[in-house]
Amino acid sequence: MKIDDRGIAVYPRIYPEDFSRSFEQKKIPSGIPEFDEMIRGGIDKGTITLVSGPPGIGKTTLVSHFITKAVESGEKSAIYLFDEKAEMMLRRCDGTGIPMRKMVEEGKLLIREIEPFEYTSEEFVHIVLRDVEERDIEVVSIDSLDGYEHSVRGGEFEKDLRALLKSLVNMGVTVFIVDDVEELEKAIVSEGRIGHVSDNAILMRFRTSLEKDIRLRRFMGILKMRESVFDRKIVEFEITNEGIKIVK
């Protein structure tokens, strides 16, 4: 329920079993060849992926790679931004060669900026499900988990989030959740909060290099893929004007 200057709005509890639609089983690649080899061709459609790492590591950029390939294959997508403005994200994508702006202009990608305390927890769930049903959305990104938790008002955050995620999966929607964490232990804690509904977990980390000069290097690996085998190695990557590149 929400009470504001427009009156009272009631948002009924969501029951995931009430949401379903048929969908084709397939994989969504990242378009990063070496990383796609690690995940055996891509993320399975209709699964939930948690992408964890410190601020500035490239989590949103990695998710943008997946969304780009999804849109290119005909799947409309939606991003719910809690931590930054859409224009800032689009400028970053412009600088890394990811054609997000074009997708938005063509109506293939929806980006919603969620202002702090603009919605109740229940209201946000209804907004996402309405977008998915009315716009035929097949890929959803929530950016970020902490931003979501701290921006919505009232309700039971984790319970509402689980109901939303289960409802999306029942409709074959592929979900990416961006999570800001500084350390591996915190990533495991976050994964534990939604672990029973998340299927895949990717961890990104900084490491300091002292070989030639002091600089931060980026690494990423897969913590789990529930429905597929995967390569457990850790790879170094860079963010270039052509997107993410694996360092060989």
pLDDT in tens, 160-219: 999 999 999 999 999 999 998 876 555 555 555 666 778 999 999 999 877 667 788 999
pLDDT > 90 fraction of the chain, expressed in percent and rounded:
73
Give the number of domains in the chain: 1
* Whether the predicted pLDDT of 4 surpasses 60: no
| C-beta atoms surrounding 230 within 10 Å | 16
- Pick left, alpha or beta for residue 159 (phi over 0 → left; psi -120 to 50 → alpha; otherwise beta): alpha
Check: CB of residue 76 under 8 Å from CB of residue 137.
Answer: yes
Domain of 115, CATH number, reads 3.40.50.300
Task: Give the pLDDT band (50/70/90) at residue 158.
Answer: confident
Over residues 15-28, the mean pLDDT reads 93
Residue 54 belongs to a domain: yes
Calpha distance 32→192 (Å, rounded): 28
Calpha distance 90→102 (Å, rounded): 10
How much is the pLDDT for 11? 82
Q: Which of 235, 238, 239, 240 is nearest to 36 (CA)?
A: 235
39 class by beta-carbon count within 10 Å (0-12 exposed, 13-18 middle, 19+ buried): buried
Residue 217 belongs to a domain: yes
135 three-state secondary structure: helix
Residue 182 belongs to a domain: yes
Of 30 and 216, more confident: 30
Q: Which residues contact 164 (CB under 8 A, 6 or more apart)?
A: 14, 124, 125, 128, 129
Residue 232 belongs to a domain: yes
42 three-state secondary structure: coil
Residue 165 belongs to a domain: yes
Q: Which residues contact 172 (CB under 8 A, 6 or more apart)?
A: 21, 22, 23, 45, 46, 138
Beta strand pairing call for 215-225 and 235-240: antiparallel
How much is the pLDDT for 155? 67
Q: Give me the domain span that covers residue 117.
A: 25-246
Bridge partner list, 206: 218
How much is the pLDDT for 209? 77
Q: Which of 146, 137, 149 is nearest to 174 (CA)?
A: 137
Name the strand (E) or helix (H) holding 170: helix 157-170
Calpha distance 75→173 (Å, rounded): 10
Residue 1 belongs to a domain: no
Residue 14 belongs to a domain: no
Residue 5 belongs to a domain: no
Name the strand (E) or helix (H) holding 78: strand 77-81
pLDDT in tens, 57-77: 999 999 999 999 999 999 999
Task: Give the pLDDT band (50/70/90) at residue 10.
Answer: confident
Specify the pTM. Answer: 0.92
